[in-house]
A and B are shown apart, each in its own frame.
Chain A
Amino acid sequence: MRQFIVLRILYSIVTLLILSLTIFAIVRLTGDPALLMAEPGARPEDLARVRHQWGLDRPWPVQYLSFMQNVFSGELGKSFNYRLPVSELYFQRLPNSLQLALAASVISLLVGIPAGIISAVRVNSLWDNLGKIIALLGLSIPGFWLGLVLILVFSVWLRWLPTSGTGDWRHLIMPAVALGWYFSASMLRLTRSSMLEVMRSEYIKLARLKGLPETVVIAMHAFKNALIPVFTLAGVNLVVMVNAAVIIEVIFAWPGIGRLLYEGIFQRDFPLVQGVVVMAGFMIIGVNLLVDVLYAFIDPRIRLTR
């Protein structure tokens, strides 16, 4: 078991390195940030000065080393645009993104799991089809559209909720719904198929043979086992949401990491983009590692595969 964990950690480190190299190269291929940082009247000397100031005129391997240094020091470099260490910017915005992602995850689970269970228990019935429709809506309605409609209905027409920004739960609910909506579809489908499979399993057949009432069978046995993959997916989705909620953040003026990254790309803010992507990668790879280890605990067979 220990060997397994060690190996997995090694893999994760290699993956992170590859990630850092990739983002480093990609970011520099998008062009010259000096133009965007200097004023419109800048002459080549001014641009050269700006480049020198930020170390952009050094050869790439040197820049990469300096970037890695920054990563290990925890500072992740200094943003061109904000003049702050990237880590500071990141951790300032992380709570906002986490809050949103958690709320969205909860909503996706609250919608997806019950709907999935009902669909599975009443396979191919009206309820199942209803579930399919809900899933369809989740997958085919883009988040930005839903977000704007929510603002229109609940803020402007009904005046129940504030339009945007952070604050109390009222500020959180619309962006969370707009974000979680899409994921509830996959939660629903996964719950449904997971339940279906569990319910067909030997274990359940035995419980039924024992004469236990159907509800108990579902509640006690099927439910628990079916939900393992669902929560795993929810965990992975959470991390995805933290990093990919940029559209929702723009619509609702939510100060999250997605927006930070998006604006950073257009500003050609190299250190910011690199730093945030590395952090994001760290989180995702970390979660994957955890999931792998968890599964290995649960299912010994997995440990034996490399």
Chain B
Amino acid sequence: MRSPMHRLLISALIVALVGGSVAVAAAGAAADPAKIVPKGKMTLAWHVGIATRWLDPQEHDGTATPDNFITAIHDALIKNQGTMLYDYPALAERFEFAPDATSATFWLRQGVKFHNGEPVTPEDVKFTYENYRGAKADVLKEQTERIEIIDDRTIRFVFKGPFLDFPLIFGTANVSGAAWIVPAKYYQKVGPDGFKQKPIGAGPYKLVRQEPGTKLELEAFEGYYRPVHVKQFTIVSVPEGATRVAMLERDEADIIYLVPGELIGRVKGDAKLMLAPVLSGSWWLEFPGFQNPKNPFHDKRVREAVSYAIDRRAMNEAEAAGLGKVSGNWINNDVQYAIDWPEFERDLGRAKQLMSEAGYANGFNVDWLTPAPAYYSRGERIIAQLQDIGIRAKLQVMERGVFLQRQQGGLREWPGLQMILNGARIGGSWANWYEAHFKCGGFNSKDRYCVQELDAKFEQYEKSIDPDERKQLAEEVQRGILENYYLVPVFRHAFVNAIGPRIAAERWQDIFQTITTGYAYPWEDIKLRDKARK
């Protein structure tokens, strides 16, 4: 017969055991953040064809397009996500950039795996970096002295000198793909071509099926270290804008990109749908060969007149239903060291005055105005607006392939008196914009502009290792361009997307979280409603 004391002890023990296991279970559940089971299906209607090379971060083509895909299938050490421009810790749970910028160290997160179950190791990181052949590969390789694998979770990149731009280049998905880790053994086994057919990454979704060029079927990767909400994710290529809108209205697509301007009103008026006007690329006018004294645009007053004459707000209204931004700078404000500039005024009277002061009271003829491919209506609007101050231009329609070729050819490909309405979205830093579109010898600008003093400052910027000095120089160069109207910014257009009723979102920014892109990643965060929005 047990004593009361005994019974008490045993009860206490039982309580302790039960309580303890409950506590442990609770603690276990807390430590394992809300174990979400992915369910449901979502479809993205993509607005152009799907290039197979976009599934391989090793051959990132430097445009702001592959990031839509590599963020689904792959993951990076650090990346641009949400409001962070480049240093969101993903596969690396932390990273350290040496104060003198001569090295960068990454600590891999515990338990991160590839879709085939293999763990992500520093060897994979080393292979990815050394084997990287895409955009900015040369810059990265030139500056890197060696890669040290410190232990089974830590890896360090040692540079030849201070490499201030490293985190920016490395961590921005629409600049380079070197941080997006691929499985070394698998990649070598199947080769680059095989990898593009059956890519394996460490991202939230794995590729189940691919119809090259038209459809990608993805499924949630349950081993991803963040919760993935939607189980099946289909990306389908639908080049016709009106069809994409129809799909959205019929629940055949949950997210669509690029709503045609004429249909923005229709989508806006539908309570079940949500417009997502993401600010995207900037547009500006170029005056190739303006350094030539015989060119009318040599005179700053003429360029200034152009700036006063164009109606940026009307352009915004007409081309982006007012959802774009009429800002001052030609460089997007989501890159490092980009300055803000007040909106340019529209003053037709002043423009005409400037024109007569410069000696062109009756205006002059421009041979061609070439808008960057496919956006011909914008070129047409500019031409109409310039007519008001006597500048008569003809629209030159040029297919993309030809445009790229002519850009590369430099000034001789742009004979006579020409203007270019160029548009771009470049990530990373302001320097990438300058380098591409203004610098003498820049891969797009070639020899069309060549402003010596600004180029000299830019060289100084590149050589400098003092962040304050760099910022200062960046501002000076941008000022130089804007105050002298070397380029005349027009507007920043909106890449207008739309969200369907099945997606759970209070505002469109819930889905389009990442400010450095027009696409809807991070994909794992997208949730479906339990009941469709009415």
Instruction: Say if the two chains contact directly (CB < 8 Å).
Output: yes
Cross-chain contact A89 with B212 (CB below 8 angstroms): yes
For window 254-282 of chain A, which residues contact chain B by CB distance below 8 Å? 255, 259-260, 263, 266-268
Alpha-carbon separation in the docked complex, A41 to B400 (Å): 16
Residues on A with beta carbons closer than 8 Å to the beta carbon of B62: 39-41
Residues on A with beta carbons closer than 8 Å to the beta carbon of B408: 35
| Per-residue interface assignment for chain B, residues 276 to 309, with 1 indicating a CB less than 8 Å from any chain A CB and 0 otherwise | 0000000000000000000000000000000000
Cross-chain contact B243 with A83 (CB below 8 angstroms): no
| Per-residue interface assignment for chain A, residues 23 to 45, with 1 indicating a CB less than 8 Å from any chain B CB and 0 otherwise | 00000001110011111111100
* A84 and B252 contact, Cβ closer than 8 Å, known pairs A31-B402, A35-B401, A35-B405: no
For window 231-277 of chain B, which residues contact chain A by CB distance below 8 Å? 236-240, 242-243, 246-247, 249-250, 252
Binds A, one of B48-56, B364-372, B463-471: B48-56
Binds B, one of A55-63, A156-164, A193-201: A156-164
Residues on A with beta carbons closer than 8 Å to the beta carbon of B360: none
Residues on B with beta carbons closer than 8 Å to the beta carbon of A35: 401, 404-405, 408
Alpha-carbon separation in the docked complex, A69 to B250 (Å): 48
Cross-chain contact A263 with B238 (CB below 8 angstroms): no
For window 59-88 of chain A, which residues contact chain B by CB distance below 8 Å? 78, 81-84
Alpha-carbon separation in the docked complex, A67 to B416 (Å): 40
Residues on A with beta carbons closer than 8 Å to the beta carbon of B52: 81-84
* A159 and B61 contact, Cβ closer than 8 Å, known pairs A41-B436, A251-B243: no
Binds B, one of A125-133, A147-155, A227-235: A147-155
* A163 and B443 contact, Cβ closer than 8 Å, known pairs A39-B135, A41-B62, A84-B197: no
Least CB distance from B346 to A in Å reads 32
Least CB distance from B170 to A in Å reads 16
Residues on B with beta carbons closer than 8 Å to the beta carbon of A291: none
* A250 and B240 contact, Cβ closer than 8 Å, known pairs A39-B134, A84-B212: yes
Q: Kindly count the residue-residue contacts between A and B in the assembled complex, taking CB atoms under 8 Å apart.
A: 116
Cross-chain contact A40 with B197 (CB below 8 angstroms): no
Alpha-carbon separation in the docked complex, A177 to B436 (Å): 48
Residues on A with beta carbons closer than 8 Å to the beta carbon of B154: none
Cross-chain contact A83 with B196 (CB below 8 angstroms): yes
Cross-chain contact A260 with B135 (CB below 8 angstroms): no
| Per-residue interface assignment for chain B, residues 368 to 406, with 1 indicating a CB less than 8 Å from any chain A CB and 0 otherwise | 000000000000000000000000000000011110110
Alpha-carbon separation in the docked complex, A46 to B60 (Å): 14
* A253 and B250 contact, Cβ closer than 8 Å, known pairs A31-B405, A83-B196, A148-B242: no
Residues on A with beta carbons closer than 8 Å to the beta carbon of B483: none
Residues on A with beta carbons closer than 8 Å to the beta carbon of B134: 39
Partner of A30, one of B60, B211, B238, B401: B401
Question: Which secondary structure dominates where chain A touches chain B?
Answer: loop
Interface size classification for chain B: 35 or more
Cross-chain contact B404 with A260 (CB below 8 angstroms): no
Cross-chain contact B443 with A42 (CB below 8 angstroms): yes
Alpha-carbon separation in the docked complex, A81 to B51 (Å): 6
Instruction: Tell me if A92 counts as interface (CB < 8 A to partner B).
Output: yes
Instruction: Tell me if A252 counts as interface (CB < 8 A to partner B).
Output: yes
Alpha-carbon separation in the docked complex, A30 to B214 (Å): 25
Cross-chain contact B214 with A151 (CB below 8 angstroms): no
Find the A residue at minimum CB distance from B408: A35
Instruction: Tell me if A142 counts as interface (CB < 8 A to partner B).
Output: no
Cross-chain contact A163 with B405 (CB below 8 angstroms): no
Instruction: Tell me if B444 counts as interface (CB < 8 A to partner A).
Output: yes
Instruction: Tell me if B215 counts as interface (CB < 8 A to partner A).
Output: yes
Cross-chain contact B436 with A40 (CB below 8 angstroms): yes
Instruction: Tell me if B63 counts as interface (CB < 8 A to partner A).
Output: yes
| Per-residue interface assignment for chain A, residues 84 to 117, with 1 indicating a CB less than 8 Å from any chain B CB and 0 otherwise | 1000010010000000000000000000000000
Instruction: Tell me if B136 counts as interface (CB < 8 A to partner A).
Output: yes
Least CB distance from A142 to B in Å reads 14
Q: What 17 new A-B contacts, CB under 8 Å, besides A151-B246, A164-B246, A259-B213?
A: A40-B443, A41-B435, A78-B193, A81-B51, A82-B51, A83-B52, A92-B211, A151-B242, A155-B250, A159-B250, A163-B252, A251-B240, A251-B243, A252-B243, A253-B240, A259-B214, A260-B213
Closest 3 CB pairs of A and B: A39-B62, A255-B214, A39-B135
